[in-house]
Amino acid sequence: MPDLKSDREIELMREAGRIVAEVLNLMGEHIAPGVTTGDLDELAEAHIRKRGALPAFKGYKMAGRIYPASICASIDEVVVHGIPSDRRLMEGQIISIDVGTELDGYCGDGARTYPVGVISQQKQNLMDVTRSALEAGIDQARAGNRLGDISAAVQQTVERNGFSVVRDLVGHGIGRRMHEDPQVHNFGQPGTGPFLQPGLVLAIEPMVNAGDYRIVFKSDGWTAMTADGSPSAHFEHTVAITDDGPEILTVV
């Protein structure tokens, strides 16, 4: 069963989310040709710790693997979970930055995709549609709606614009743990799934490919890539369902 959060808990998550947004803004200020993804990771971790929080991704364990960095930095055909390194960004790429924070025992999670210099029209459209899909999903995150209403809104926005949603990766509930129930798929039927209730907090995160929806994983066990090599974009917010509608927590 999903863990519904109290007003006090949502306030704590609002603080963690604010730091996520600050880091994503900082990334936007520094992403440029020649910068390494390792440079970005160092900047992100320094800011998170300066604000008294912990980088929630660093040391995160999954299937016996430990994630080694504070952000995920996913370039072009990498969908999510790209590991920062000494790789330098190049003009014309896009890069998705995903960051999680933990503050006073509660988590925040968010992601954005950024252009590196001047990018192609296809990549710009991909970014715009993915952002619009996130907005459409958030608009359905209302008490009395069903979880499938979020999923369907994302899928419909993506597919009517000629792109595809990743099927094998999902959004999630969030709170004291980074990943809680329920899973939030980016495809589905409206009017299906559990009812949404005030106090439910979700990480809604469309992952959208320019080509086919299928993905493959690198041998590191983390890095997910499009199977056909097409570019991918990723936008995410932590969203609380309240009596007054959806509240985005990952904002400054």
As a whole number of angstroms, the distance between CA 140 and CA 200 comes to 13
Cα Rg, the chain, nearest whole Å: 17
Q: What is the pLDDT of residue 16?
A: 98
How much is the average pLDDT of 219-248?
98
As a whole number of angstroms, the distance between CA 203 and CA 111 comes to 10
Tokens found for residue 193: 């799934």
As a whole number of angstroms, the distance between CA 26 and CA 35 comes to 13
In a 10 Å sphere around its CB, with 0-12 CB exposed, 13-18 middle and 19+ buried, how is residue 135 labelled?
middle
As a whole number of angstroms, the distance between CA 35 and CA 67 comes to 22
Q: Are 237 and 250 in contact (CB under 8 A)?
A: yes
Residue 206 has pLDDT above 80, yes or no: yes
Q: Residue 193: left (phi > 0), alpha (psi -120 to 50), or beta?
A: left
How much is the average pLDDT of 92-107?
98
- Tell me: the pLDDT tens digits for 134-190? 999 999 999 999 999 999 999 999 999 999 999 999 999 999 999 999 999 999 999
DSSP result, 128-191: HHHHHHHHHHHHT--TTSBHHHHHHHHHHHHHTTT-EE-SS--EEE-SSSSSEEEEE-SS--TT
Q: What is the pLDDT of residue 1?
A: 66
As a whole number of angstroms, the distance between CA 196 and CA 87 comes to 42
How much is the average pLDDT of 89-112?
98
Using a pLDDT cut of 70, give the percent of the chain over it.
Answer: 100
- CATH class of domain segment(s) 7-248: alpha beta
Mean pLDDT of the chain: 98
pTM of the model: 0.97
How much is the average pLDDT of 204-215?
98
Half-sphere exposure of 78 toward its Cβ, with a 13 Å CA cutoff?
Answer: 20
Q: What is the pLDDT of residue 165?
A: 98
- Tell me: the pLDDT tens digits for 4-21? 999 999 999 999 999 999
CA distances from residue 118 to 28, 60, 92, 123, 125 in whole angstroms, order as listed: 14, 34, 5, 10, 13
Q: What is the pLDDT of residue 63?
A: 87
- Tell me: the pLDDT tens digits for 22-64? 999 999 999 999 999 999 999 999 999 999 999 999 999 988 9
Tokens 């994302």 locate to 154
